[in-house]
Amino acid sequence: MSISIKGIGDIAKMRIAGRLASEVLDYITPFVQPGVTTDTLDQLCHDYMVQEQGCIPAPLNYAPGGHAPYPKSICTSINQQVCHGVPGDKLLKDGDIINLDITVIKDGWHGDTSRMFSVGKASAQANRLCQITYECMWKGIQVVRPGIHLGLIGATIQKHAETSGYSVVREYCGHGIGRAFHEDPQVMHYGRANEGPILEAGMIFTLEPMINAGRRDIRMLSDGWTVVTKDRSLSAQWEHTVLVTETGFEALTLSAGSPPPPTFIAQ
């Protein structure tokens, strides 16, 4: 495994790509309402990325080994869908929770981020799952600094998820990112604090924990992309692209509309 170290010029480009990805989420937020289809959200985001931002939507026709090309420009994962939900003609309804996952390519560099949205008014249980998952992501980000083992991130996330009564999906993970969508390392959202490579300044990777209200087991739908919980329990996910700095971390996928970090995060 070789983890690339980004130079200052690369980092400047990644900051731009990261902000643009987050700004797509800012743009689409007011459209996430009961009665809209995920196809409409996909088309709106596609046009915003291409026409307003001059970006390429990275998911469109993305075909990692063994997968058919991904047919849409964003991922829309509703309720028991864990990740990679494919937009379609289904209407969002009051009480749904949905993850929108955006990856842009700007000037050859990738920015990758996702947020949860409640459609209308979601249940208290659904909102708690979204909130704890957000905390899991930020608790993982907060331990990032040169000299730690990568495994500390997963151990930190797993602890918060499991002490909250939830489970961590094992089959999908965060990833290095840069000129390529998915690079080394694989960033597990569970595991042991003293395992894995040692972080160095200039590494860039995503944290994107998928947390289930029920059991951790998943299955794939027949479309070959959409991942759902086996027990049909709700699942939530948040994602940031993060730089390891000399003193800690910098979240690259922030913009004016980003929800504030939890209050436990040192500013």
Residues at the interface with ligand MF3 (CB under 6 A): 59, 62, 70, 75, 84, 101, 103, 112, 206, 208, 225, 239
- The Cα–Cα gap between 166 and 133 comes to 9
Of 61 and 125, CB closest to Co ion: 61
Does position 38 interact with Co ion (CB under 5 A)? The reply is no
- Measured in degrees and rounded to the nearest 5, phi and psi for residue 110 equal -100, 140
The partner in contact with residue 117, picked from ligand MF3, Co ion, none with C-beta cut-offs of 5 to 8 angstroms by kind, is none
Of 47 and 94, CB closest to ligand MF3: 47
Q: Edge-to-edge strands of the sheet including 183-187?
A: 183-187, 174-176, 204-207, 240-244, 249-251
- Choices 57-65, 191-199, 237-245, 249-257 (CB under 5 A): range interacting with Co ion: 237-245
Question: How big is the site for Co ion, counted in residues (CB under 5 A)?
Answer: 5
How distant, in Å, are the alpha carbons of 143, 198, 238, 252 from that of 22?
22, 28, 12, 9
The partner in contact with residue 84, picked from Co ion, ligand MF3, none with C-beta cut-offs of 5 to 8 angstroms by kind, is ligand MF3
User: Measured at CB, which residue is nearest to ligand MF3?
Assistant: 59
Of 31 and 62, CB closest to ligand MF3: 62
96: CB partners within 8 A, 6+ apart:
78, 79, 118, 119, 120, 122
- Choices 85-93, 106-114, 185-193, 242-250 (CB under 5 A): range interacting with Co ion: 106-114
Shortest distance, position 240 Cβ to ligand MF3, whole Å: 10
Among 22, 80, 133, 206, binds Co ion (CB under 5 A): 206
Q: What is the CA radius of gyration of the chain?
A: 17
CB-CB neighbours of 105 under 10 Å: 18
* DSSP label at residue 77: E
Shortest distance, position 41 Cβ to Co ion, whole Å: 15
- The Cα–Cα gap between 117 and 100 comes to 8
Does position 112 interact with Co ion (CB under 5 A)? The reply is yes
Does position 183 interact with Co ion (CB under 5 A)? The reply is no
Shortest distance, position 216 Cβ to ligand MF3, whole Å: 18
The three-state DSSP-derived secondary structure of 214-236 is CCCCEEECCCCCCEEECCCCCEE
Shortest distance, position 175 Cβ to Co ion, whole Å: 6
Of 173 and 247, CB closest to Co ion: 173
For 55, half-sphere exposure in the C-beta direction (CA atoms, 13 angstrom radius) is 33
List interacting residues with Co ion (CB under 5 A).
101, 112, 206, 208, 239
